[in-house]
Every structure is written in C-alpha cells, then in structure tokens.
Amino acid sequence: MKQLVIAIDGYSSCGKSTTAKAVAHLLHYAYVDTGAMYRGVTLHLLEHGIAFDDLPAVDQVLKDLTISFRRHPQTGRNELFLDGVNREDDIRQMRISNSVSEVSVIPQVRHALVAQQQRMGRKRGVVMDGRDIGTTVFPDAEVKIFMTADMELRARRRQMELAEKGEHVLLVDIIDNLRKRDHIDSTRAESPLRRATDAVMLDTTHITISEQVDFVIDQVSSALFAAGWG
C-alpha cells in the first residue's frame, strides 16, 4: 500500500504528540516529534550558556549537535537524544517551555531543523507533529490536520504532564506561557504557526484521544481512497 506523509500541526497541549504517536503505531509508520527537536536545541543552548542572539555560536551548535530519536524497548516511547545522551525528560521541563519559542524564531535554527525533518520523511510512511509541518516541512503531505483546543483545558493538560514528572507549576503561569508561545509562534517571520489551506481542523476540547486517533485514521483512509491507493 502507498505510504503517506501525515502532518499534524497546531497549538501546544492539544494532544498532537499523543495522537500522532498512536496513529504512527497503528499504521506502522515512523513518528517524528519536531517540537522535541527545537526543545533539544534550546536545552543545549541554555546548558552551555549560549545567548540566543549569538548567531555565530548558534550556527556552530547546529553544525556540531547530533539530534536523534530512539524507541524505548520497554515503554515503546520515542525519546530524544542529544549527542547520544537521552534528554527526553529534560526537554519537557517548564524552563525549556519558557524559552523554546524564542529559539524557534531564529532563522538558522528553523532552516537546519526543517532540512533534517525533510530528510527523516523523505521515504514517506511518517507521522510528524509540530507547528509548520503542513505549511513548510511537507506542504505536499497527503494528510494535514490542524489541532486546537480551549486554552484552560490545554493548560490543565500541561499542568498534569509536569506534575507527573514532579514539577508543580501554577495554572496561571502555564496559561501565560501558552499565550506567549502562541503569539511568538504565530507571528514569527520564519514559517509561522498557521493552518494550511488544505488542512482539516480538529478541535480536541471535548473529545478523547481515541476519538482524535479515529479522526486522523479516517482522514488517512479518505486520502488513500481518493488517490486510488486504498
């Protein structure tokens, strides 16, 4: 059967990653969490004391830093590695969330990571989630979904994720962070967060993860049928 590129874009904490991982598992596709890649670069810059506006230093990091994903044999979770070291839990910290949008607007960062993402999906058979997959990374993706949800619900989901990792953050601080990230991501000059004209909107406020997955699978089936591949 013809393999597709499935692009899932949208705002933070709408269920993008959870849905994308489940869809990839069902279809036996590769899964790429592009947001984790930007978080990885952010973590590296912060840990090495590199200012975000020090572009020569940022350029050097992008040349030297190795970003990869590996599937955990027990949990089945795709985890991010920087220079061969597992940093999956570290990139999910609130301090990274507070800075990742500032790093994401740096043109050199976007160009480098978009190129890497395009290489990852070159053979098709991939589910990618992020902010600009359907508009910039894979504008020819056969399936494009744009996810959104109520702000307070998004914040509560994020709060629970952080609490599970032992990080307790006030809801109001998470809402402030999400609003800031939404604004930066939507107004940046390089591949801003926006719905592709041919993307299907999916509001996850009142539906379960299982329903989200079913919705995406239905879109995949429709795309295969329309192309005569089903």
21 marked as part of a ligand binding site: no
Does the annotation list 16 as a binding residue? yes
11 is in an annotated binding site: yes
222 marked among binding-site residues: no
Is residue 13 annotated as involved in ligand binding? yes
221 labeled part of a ligand binding site: no
Q: Known binder of ligand: residue 17? A: yes
Reduced 3-state DSSP string for the chain? CCCCEEEEEECCCCCHHHHHHHHHHHHCCEEEEHHHHHHHHHHHHHHCCCCCCCHHHHHHHHHHCCEEEEECCCCCCEEEEECCEECCCHHHCHHHHCCHHHHHCCHHHHHHHHHHHHHHCCCCCEEEEECCHHHHHCCCCCEEEEEECCHHHHHHHHHHHHHHCCCCCCHHHHHHHHHHHHHHHHHCCCCCCCCCCCCEEEECCCCCHHHHHHHHHHHHHHHHHHCCCC
Going by the annotation, the residues of the binding site for ATP are 10-18
Q: Which residues make up each annotated binding site? A: 10-18
